[in-house]
Structure 1
């Protein structure tokens, strides 16, 4: 595993918001209408047992309902909204922290100001769906 890497929350939030505005520029990738940047993962060599990244949802946006093996912890950096976990709504506001247990269906919804979050997955692997989408897009464009 590589050396410890550090980030400032403000820099992560700005980077992912810029990626959303610029159509996926920089580390951010557009995934199903939102910008996602994986910042630490085993694949990147800077983590062995956890994945960390940021996501930015535009105003009034809803993710596709999904579930994954990983437990997920989300920290709200900007904006707000709510997440439905197994049919129960949970409010998301700046500074809020939410834990989504593994394998429970959940769907995130942003409010009028959008939603920017820092997230952690453990165990790693759930983020592979974003890499697969990037590879599919690359094949279509070639």
Structure 2
């Protein structure tokens, strides 16, 4: 490991919260409503609700699908569709976008319908560079992804 880097298990740098207080009560979604309802899967925003109670606002955070191990960085208030996810917060001295990028490429694929965060995923080790290096990596990945988007648009 380079000097100043450490290897940590995810559960030592991330705390999780059950989404139960933030589960939407009605699935009568409408795009004119203001609060998005999220799932950690590919669809991500599955609708909008007019419910005003139980909106998650401790941002940014990462939502993690406990069955598929999909994850998404979220920087806006939301409600969730179901309890099949965890809401993750990263320790203050670690760049949450760095962790989100790592998690977006680190998937566990299982053949069982079990919850993965506590049993397996939280035990994954991640290299943690110093804060300035985390920020540099995030900036570079953003730039590269932006360039890829431009290339895809021009195909």
TM-score normalised by the chain length of structure 1: 0.26
Higher relative contact order, structure no. (Cα contacts within 8 Å, ≥ 6 residues apart): 2
Structure with the largest fraction of strand: 1
TM-score normalised by the chain length of structure 2: 0.25
